């Protein structure tokens, strides 16, 4: 791109655009990276510089950018039908995708309700659970529980069940009140041994048990990010927690709502993160990688039992009065179907198994850094924390903005990193090869060296 066009665009960006999750003042004297092209696992800026998309463009990208089969699916679908409403009308793409989703998600989920982003998938889940209990006569069950450090999106229902104070506490006056329970946070647990891990899980489950014993009569559901609390700092936790949570939910008749918006579709090394614990939730929320990270689409799946509580004569007013303009968008659905075909034809899950094993090994190399702690990995996700003191795990002063400094230096190394505070993580496209992983870790090590970590 010629320099005058680039300057003009960046000047207009400053003048007109408000970017998400961004302190715009950070960009008073620094430009956003102007991206012109995305291909494979790379992004290219307006000067032709190439960057590894190590965060999968906010945890969405799956098969790399510009996959020919995905592009073809969009073109073919647009030639046939762009968008139609999904109420009173239906279409092959929405129907066939629903069938596939029921086949691949954990057993027992039989009905698919579409929406268009992760937050709406969560809103749907909360309203569905709430209304279910109203319609089966358990009208006291109106409340929800959520985990400390959990994140489920930015709309107000999702924020009401959000446990990351930095993002959520300000909005409290706007929110419905919900119960907060402890999360299994291994890195805050004093004992790092296997027995310590068990004790950490047991303590978190004991907190749920205590809540359920006193309050299950008023609880509709509990929402959880299976295996990884992502926005809360990539807290990877043991599958035993999910297993225990499922048991408690069944015992106390509380819906288990699995928010797999971020972790679904292979990112954790299994099709769905719930598969690690071999559990089926009552409701599952999907988005992001549903369309291989290319178009906005979401789905909330529920059990037949939940669905049947809404199925009645119209004049009994049990309809689920919820819907979005772009519900079941055919282009999004066609892309999702194409993505699932790629999974099969390119044996993506087999590749993920090899690549994620390699990623875990490579992450060990960060141990040599004095200011790196809590190295962890699951599937194509890996993270570590930057700390001032590795022994005490004392963090850096917030003013230092250590993570942000790494982000800036990463750009110089051709890496798009997007630290969560001082947690540096990789959320790799499933298409990332083992040699890409070597290069990404090598470059990240150079960044750390240069920043004196
Ligand atoms: C676990 C989880 N749930 C929900 C959401 C919200 O998705 P969206 O940003 O598409 O609204 C996110 C987004 O990062 C997420 O990580």
- Look at residue 195 and tell me whether its pLDDT is greater than 90: no
Give the model confidence (pLDDT) of 379-399 as tens digits.
Answer: 999 999 999 999 888 999 989
What is the predicted pLDDT for the residue at 161? 98
Ligand 1 nearest-atom number relative to CA 121: 4
For residues 90 and 133, what is the distance between their CA atoms, to the nearest angstrom?
Answer: 28
Question: Tokens 């789905």 — which residue?
Answer: 299
pLDDT (mean) for 212-231: 98
Name the percent of the chain lying above pLDDT 70: 100
Per-residue pLDDT at 272: 98
Atom 8, ligand 1: which residue's CA is nearest? 118
CA of 260 to the centre of ligand 1 (A): 9
Q: Give the whole-angstrom CA distance, residue 111 versus residue 299.
A: 10
Residue with tokens 């890195």: 187
State in Å: Cα 152 to ligand 1 middle. 5
Give the CATH number of domain 69-345; options: 1.10.10.10, 3.40.640.10, 3.30.450.80, 1.10.730.10: 3.40.640.10
**CA 267 to ligand 1 center in whole angstroms:** 14
- Are 378 and 295 in contact, with CB atoms under 8 Å apart? no
Residue nearest to atom 5 of ligand 1 (CA): 153
Which pLDDT score is estimated for 190?
82
Distance 155 CA to ligand 1 centre (A): 10
User: 59 alpha carbon to ligand 1 midpoint, in Å?
Assistant: 9
Q: Which atom from ligand 1 is nearest to the alpha carbon of 58?
A: 14
Higher-confidence residue: 231 or 392? Answer: 231
Q: How far is the CA of 195 from the centre of ligand 1 (A)?
A: 32
Q: What residues does each domain of the chain span?
A: 33-63+348-450, 69-345
Give me the pLDDT at residue 1, please: 92
Ligand 1: which of 56, 123, 126, 152 to mutate, most ligand atoms within 8 Å of CB? 152
Query: What's the 153 CA to ligand 1 centre distance in angstroms?
Result: 5
Query: What per-residue confidence (pLDDT) applies to 233?
Result: 96
Query: What mean pLDDT comes out for the span 74-97?
Result: 97
Q: Which atom of ligand 1 is nearest to the CA of 260?
A: 1
Tokens coding 398: 């917030």
Angle at 61 between CA 17 and CA 413, to 5 degrees: 75
What is the token pair recorded at 250? 């069944």
* Rounded alpha-carbon distances, angstroms, from residue 170 to 22, 42, 163, 399: 16, 36, 12, 21
Binding pocket residue ranges, ligand 1, CB within 6 Å: 59, 117-119, 122, 151-153, 225, 230-231, 259, 261-262, 287
**Residue 194 confidence (pLDDT):** 84
- Name the closest-CA residue to atom 16, ligand 1: 262
Please provide the size of the chain in residues: 453
Report the residue among 261, 286, 427 best suited for mutation to probe ligand 1: largest number of ligand atoms under 8 A from its CB: 261
Q: What is the SS3 string spanning the chain?
A: CCHHHHHHHHHHHHHHCCCCCCCHHHHCCCCCCCEEEEEECEEEECCCCEEEECCHHHHCCCCCECCHHHHHHHHHHHHHCCCCCCCCCCCHHHHHHHHHHHHHCCCCEEEEEEECCHHHHHHHHHHHHHHHHHHCCCCCCCEEEEECCCCCCCCHHHHHCCCCHHHHHHHHHHCCCCEEECCCCHHHCCCCCHHHHHHHHHHHHHHHHHHHHHHHHHEEEEEECCCEECCCCCEECCHHHHHHHHHHHHHHCCEEEEECCCCCCCCCCCCCHHHHCCCCCCEEEECHHHHCCCCCCEEEEEEHHHHHCCCCCHHHCCCCCCCCCCCCCHHHHHHHHHHHHHHHHCCHHHHHHHHHHHHHHHHHHHHHCCCEEEEEEECCEEEEEEEEECCCCEECCHHHCHHHHHHHHHHHCCEECCCECCEEEEECCCCCCHHHHHHHHHHHHHHHHHCCC
**pLDDT for 321-374, tens place per residue?**
999 999 999 999 999 999 999 999 999 999 999 999 999 999 999 999 999 999
CA of 221 to the centre of ligand 1 (A): 19
Q: What is d(CA 35, CA 47) in angstroms, rounded to the nearest whole number? A: 9
Tell me the CA–centroid distance for residue 94 and ligand 1, in Å.
22
- Looking at the chain, the whole-number percentage of residues with pLDDT higher than 90 is 95
Task: Please provide the distance, in angstroms rounded to a whole number, between the alpha carbons at the two ends of the chain.
Answer: 36
Select the CATH number that applies to the domain covering 33-63+348-450 from these four: 3.40.50.300, 3.90.1150.10, 3.60.20.10, 2.60.40.1120: 3.90.1150.10
Tell the residue nearest (CA) to atom 2 of ligand 1: 152
Q: What Cα–Cα distance (Å) separates residue 211 from each residue in 141, 214, 215, 254, 257? A: 14, 5, 6, 11, 17
Which pTM was predicted?
0.98
In the predicted model, what is the mean pLDDT of the chain? 97
* Ligand 1 pocket, mutate which of 157, 233, 235, 287 (most atoms under 8 A from CB): 287
- Say how far apart CA 55 and CA 351 lie, in whole Å: 18
Closest atom of ligand 1 to 118 CA is 7
* pLDDT reported for residue 266: 98
The Å distance, Cα 261 to ligand 1 centre, comes to: 6
């Amino acid at each position: 791109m010629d320099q005058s066009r680039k300057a003009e665009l960046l000047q207009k960006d400053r003048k007109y655009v408000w970017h998400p999750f961004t302190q715009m003042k950070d960009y008073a004297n620094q430009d956003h990276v102007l991206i012109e092209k995305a291909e494979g696992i790379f992004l290219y800026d307006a000067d032709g510089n190439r960057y590894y998309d190590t965060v999968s463009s906010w945890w969405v990208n799956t098969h790399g950018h510009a996959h020919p089969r995905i592009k073809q699916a969009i073109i073919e679908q647009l030639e046939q039908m762009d968008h139609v409403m999904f109420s009173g009308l239906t279409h092959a793409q929405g129907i066939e995708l629903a069938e596939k989703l029921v086949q691949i998600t954990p057993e027992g989920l039989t009905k698919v309700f579409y929406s268009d982003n992760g937050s709406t998938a969560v809103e749907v889940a909360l309203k569905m659970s709430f209304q279910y209990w109203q319609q089966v006569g358990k009208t006291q069950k109106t409340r929800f529980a959520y985990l400390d450090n959990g994140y489920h999106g930015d709309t107000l229902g999702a924020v009401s069940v959000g446990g990351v104070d930095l993002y959520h506490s300000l909005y409290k006056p706007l929110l419905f009140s919900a119960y907060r329970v402890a999360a299994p946070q291994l890195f805050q647990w004093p004992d790092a041994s296997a027995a310590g891990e068990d004790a950490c899980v047991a303590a978190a489950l004991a907190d749920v048990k205590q809540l359920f014993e006193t309050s299950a009569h008023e609880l509709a559901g509990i929402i959880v990010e299976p295996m990884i609390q992502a926005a809360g700092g990539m807290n990877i936790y043991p599958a035993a927690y999910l297993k225990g949570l499922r048991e408690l939910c069944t015992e106390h008749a509380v819906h288990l709502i699995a928010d797999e918006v971020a972790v679904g579709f292979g990112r954790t090394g299994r099709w769905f993160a719930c598969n690690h614990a071999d559990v089926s939730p009552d409701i599952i929320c999907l988005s992001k990688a549903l369309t291989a990270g290319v178009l906005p689409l979401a789905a909330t799946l529920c059990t037949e039992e939940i669905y049947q509580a809404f199925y009645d004569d119209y004049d009994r007013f049990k309809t689920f009065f919820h819907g979005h303009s772009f519900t079941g968008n055919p282009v999004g659905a066609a892309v999702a179907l194409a993505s699932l075909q790629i999974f099969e034809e390119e044996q993506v899950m087999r590749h993920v198994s090899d690549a994620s094993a390699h990623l875990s090994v490579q992450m060990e190399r960060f141990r040599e850094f004095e200011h790196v702690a809590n190295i962890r990995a699951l599937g194509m996700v890996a993270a570590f924390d930057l700390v001032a003191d590795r022994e005490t795990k004392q963090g850096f002063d917030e003013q230092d903005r250590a993570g942000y400094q790494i982000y800036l230096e990463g750009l110089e190394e051709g890496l798009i990193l997007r630290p969560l505070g001082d947690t540096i993580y990789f959320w790799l496209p499933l298409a990332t090869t083992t040699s890409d992983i070597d290069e990404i870790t090598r470059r990240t090590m150079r960044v750390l060296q240069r920043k004196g970590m």
